């Protein structure tokens, strides 16, 4: 079994590393050099046709891509501790929050990264006004999260889940590209501090 990924600050490979750390699964990451565009090579596209990271190659040659799909595989093969919820309601709420994070939080962060950040300028035609507008959209997402996290230790229930992993990796990446959590959003900042105190956050 081979896990193809990339080091920090890439947020998606980090999601899987955090998940594995929480599960206590020892699977070293095989680094694919994104700066050299190795993930876009014909050899890698044979494993993941979209040329994206991470990708998990199983012993029989089956390749699984997309972070949530990879983590669901490990949830099935290593069910304890449950990171996608333990009850039907928890499982539904974890899925709900993963989707909210990816659409309401990661989308504006990703659009800012693609269209307003100098590191991506050589990779695509940037629409900088659109890119910059996503900073305000992301601030709106922070306001929403701050309200939702009132009185909560985690996004779902009383335990750390994949929803928290998705949000932490997104918020940390956002800060790296110049979109920090605003000081006014104290619930969100306190949640992030709790998540970053977990040993898995260093994965």
pLDDT digits (tens, 9 = 90+) for 69-97: 999 999 999 999 999 999 999 999 999 99
- The class of domain 88-198 in CATH terms is mainly alpha
| CATH fold for domain 2-77 | Glutaredoxin (3.40.30)
The pLDDT tens digits of the residues spanning 101-117 come to 999 999 999 999 889 88
Question: CA 19 from chain center: how many Å?
Answer: 10
Closest CA to 170 of 118, 116, 120, 97: 97
Cα–Cα distances in Å, from 94 out to 15, 39, 85? 15, 30, 6
- 3-class secondary-structure state, position 80: coil
> Could you count the other beta carbons within 10 Å of the beta carbon of residue 59?
7
Cα–Cα distances in Å, from 77 out to 24, 28, 74, 96? 12, 17, 5, 23
**Cα gap 116→93, rounded to integer Å:** 33
* pLDDT beyond 80 at 181: yes
Q: What is the mean pLDDT of residues 140-165?
A: 97
Break the chain into its structural domains and give their ranges.
2-77, 88-198
pLDDT for residue 127? 92
Percentage of residues of the chain with pLDDT beyond 70:
100
Q: What is the mean pLDDT of residues 129-155?
A: 97
Given pLDDT bands bounded at 50, 70 and 90, which one contains residue 120? confident
The pLDDT tens digits of the residues spanning 155-169 come to 999 999 999 999 999
């Amino acid at each position: 079994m081979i896990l193809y990924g990339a080091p920090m600050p890439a947020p998606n490979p980090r999601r899987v590393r955090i998940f594995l750390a929480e599960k206590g699964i020892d699977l070293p990451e095989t680094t694919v050099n994104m700066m050299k565009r190795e993930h876009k090579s014909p050899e890698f596209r044979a494993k993941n046709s979209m040329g994206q990271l991470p990708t998990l190659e199983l012993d029989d040659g089956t390749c699984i891509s997309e972070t949530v799909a990879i983590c669901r595989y490990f949830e099935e093969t290593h069910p304890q501790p449950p990171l996608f919820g333990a009850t039907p309601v928890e499982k539904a709420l974890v899925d709900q929050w993963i989707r909210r994070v990816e659409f309401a939080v990661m989308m504006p962060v990703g659009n800012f990264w693609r269209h307003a950040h100098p590191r991506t300028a050589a990779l695509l035609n940037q629409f900088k006004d659109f890119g910059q507008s996503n900073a305000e959209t992301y601030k709106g997402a922070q306001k929403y999260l701050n309200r939702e996290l009132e009185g909560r230790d985690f996004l779902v229930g009383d335990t750390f889940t994949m929803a928290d992993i998705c949000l932490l990796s997104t918020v940390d990446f956002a800060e790296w590209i110049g979109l920090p959590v605003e000081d006014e959003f104290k619930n969100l900042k306190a949640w992030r501090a709790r998540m970053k105190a977990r040993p898995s956050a260093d994965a």
